[in-house]
Chains A and B, each alone.
Chain A
Amino acid sequence: MIARHTLRATVGLASAALAVGVLAGCGTGGADPEDGTLTFVTYTGGDAALKYENLIEAFEEANPGVTVELEEVAGDTSYDQLIRSRIQAGTAPDIFEVLNGVGGMRPYVEADLLTDLSDEPWVAHLLPSIAGQAAAIDDREYAFTTQVSTQGLFYNKAIFEENELEPPADWDAFLDAIETLKAAGVTPAAVGGADGWTLWLQTIVQAVNQEAFQEANSAAAAALLDGSEKFSDSDEWREVLEGFQELVELGVYDPNASGIDFTASANEFANGKAAMLVQGDFALNAVRTANPDIEIGYVPFPAVDRGDEAAVALSPGGILAIPTDAPNAELAKEFLRFLAEPANMAAYLSAAAALPSLDNVEAGDVDLDPALVEILPAVQSKSVDGSFLGLTPESTTALQTGLQGLLTRTMTVDAVLESMDQAQTRP
């Protein structure tokens, strides 16, 4: 337990030392407003160099005398301390990547540290779910979201064709497909139930189709977060859990699903033992590694009534903000505008193997996995940010545990909701 304090102290010291080092470094040049050097800080792990390399080169070519310095910093607890101490020391980066999504951006906005970007031309093209969630803080836009990651329903095209199935567009069609697949002796869907988060994901794709959660920073989610509404009393979460339970009762998953992990579930889907996989788009990598020849379709999870349009669950990535104290704020805005041009965005997304946050990027222009291309129109037509469903880290853990309970038929929906309430409440 206590080791963490010491660790935190060490991290604090280290980042302080880092900040001092940066200060010393900048004293010799870097931050001079006149020299046209754009400092761009990202956190490691995002393959930033790979994704931005060509675009930075093109930007420098289009703007003679300008250089963009890309800095990659460890994206751990010290990241925000580093950014803040640089802002305080007057050596703010011109652009930095916000850690931990819109939630991570909030403290900066509240401290008035970010440049208002609401009047930038690309704002009109941001997907409503992306623009809305960020604007929910104070009605303004403070960042450019470069990409989104999605969660939805992968299906094996060959198996679907064999059984004369169309990708399901609503809940009834989904249940029909399940019956057909079961009758054909195919496990309808794979899930790695030993990894609690894979089960959590099965409910996120349902929850984003609950109307009450579809508005940015919805009242329903806010009430769950501040404790004024209990999960036990939430019709939305009850319906989601009952939906999951219904699928378990129907035998959608392998009877051993609780004993296999994510990788095993991806293998099961890749090898045609299961016809569907509800996962995030990152799962494509695991599936294609296990079976490069598989033909995969990808659609929003159809937790909707007949005739309604299902929403894609997504979360924003690569959120770029400009500090109010950025020495080259105008140039930084210029860079973001350049990045947001459809052709440049398409190049970026091809390198990042990711889906766009803008509605003016054409599927045909981006070199993406066919599965991602298939879901792109749905992403641009109707998507909901899956990180605003009223869950805290504690209730998320309780939800994951509870879903394992539902999967192994050892817990009731009521008991799961109650355990989420117990976890959400703080002393």
Chain B
Amino acid sequence: MNVVDRAGLAQAGPARTSPRPRMSAPRDRGRRSRVHRNPVARWVIILPALILFTVVMIAPVAVNFVYAFTDWDGFAPTFDFVGLDNFARILGDSAAIASVRNTLVFTVVNGFAQVGLGLLLALALRRPGRFVAFLRVVIVFPIAVSGVVIGLIGNIIFSPTFGLLATLGDVPGLGALAQNWLGDPQLAMGTVIAMNLWQWTGLTMLIFVAGLVGIPAELYEAARIDGAGAWHQFRHVTWPLLAPAATINIVLTMIGGLKVFDVILVLTNGGPGTATRSLVMQVALQGSTNYGYSAALSLVLTLFIIIVTGGLLMLLRLRERAT
């Protein structure tokens, strides 16, 4: 039996308590209905956006889909259809396989770390106040830093010749800091993930903070009266009511991880060897000379993202509903 259930408050999430916004004045509703009823007007309104969307989104994806079954190299005026050859080739391409493995490692490790750290930071910085607000800004700030600058910062911190850590490593007792952070295949992925966390954990925290603000204070009061400690308050009040924020964060980090590209490009360019090469990098690498193969790789990546995030989203929504 848990505190919130007993208090009958489990249903009291912010989305449920706030009433649906009413349709505004009847006059307005009438106008809207007329447009709704007129099919021509409806199409006229939708068409510009639809055309734009088709041209810049649907058509390219469809064209890419077709290229995935050809041997077009990206330059030649002609190409042949080769069936599933490109897809069979992926299985025999050790660099592509390595990039899939790296992408999964990055997605899982970075995902857990980013959501976990984001949650901890949000809980630590949930109270209002000037200092807390300042800290939040500091943590969110790296989102605004461009990829090129991340590369420079990465070099300043991690370079084995002039980097901050290498310099600190000269201090007695701190020798362990002097590592070949970006050039050692054992360390490079960890370094890249750390840099990615530095950049994006702030966003995760922000989404959690927004979720936390929406949890009514009365719930904690009720829980405290029922004798719940900090852990129980988190377990039975905070966590269930943070479910929507958690869903967004998990899905966002998952998608971000599966299509990671820029942070790796600027820090290691996928190296050393294939130690940090991601699937998107592999797609880009092949795109310049092996368009058909590259299109097949990107198709696999897209399907992968749709299946993983779609499945995950369904699971998380179920969990939200269950609480």
Contacts and interface: CB of A to CB of B under 8 A. Distances in A.
Nearest to A427: B85
Given A401-B271, A404-B273, A408-B275, 7 more contacts: A1-B64, A194-B182, A258-B184, A268-B161, A401-B270, A405-B272, A422-B93
Interface string B297-320: 010000000000000000000000
Contact of B183 (A257, A392, A393, A401): A257
Contacts of B85: 427
Given A259-B159, A410-B273, A193 B183 contact: yes
A264 interface: yes
Interface residues of A, number: 38
Interface in A390-414: 392-394, 397-398, 401-402, 404-405, 407-408, 410-411
B158 A1 contact: no
B272 A2 contact: no
A196 B95 CA distance: 15
Given A393-B289, A426-B73, A194 B183 contact: yes
Nearest to A400: B271
Contacts of A397: 285
Interface in A251-286: 255-260, 264, 267-268
B93 A193 contact: no
Instruction: Name which of A259, A260, A407, A426 has the most chain B CB atoms within 10 A of its CB.
Output: A259
B273 A1 contact: no
A260 B182 CA distance: 9
B180 interface: yes
B274 interface: yes
Interface of A: 1-5, 193-196, 255-260, 264, 267-268, 392-394, 397-398, 401-402, 404-405, 407-408, 410-411, 415, 418-419, 422-423, 426-427
A194 B273 contact: no
Nearest to B72: A427
Interface of B: 59-61, 63-64, 71, 73-74, 82, 85-86, 89, 92-95, 158-162, 180-185, 268-275, 277, 283, 285-290, 292-295, 298
A401 B61 CA distance: 30
- Main SS class of interface, A: helix
B268 A194 contact: yes
B71 A402 contact: no
B63 A408 contact: no
Given A196-B271, A427-B89, A258 B180 contact: yes
18 contacts: A2-B59, A3-B60, A194-B182, A194-B183, A196-B271, A256-B161, A259-B184, A393-B288, A394-B290, A401-B277, A408-B273, A410-B185, A415-B94, A419-B95, A422-B92, A423-B95, A427-B89, A427-B293
B183 A2 contact: no
Contacts of B183: 193-194, 256-260, 408
B77 to A, nearest CB: 12
Contacts of B275: 408, 410
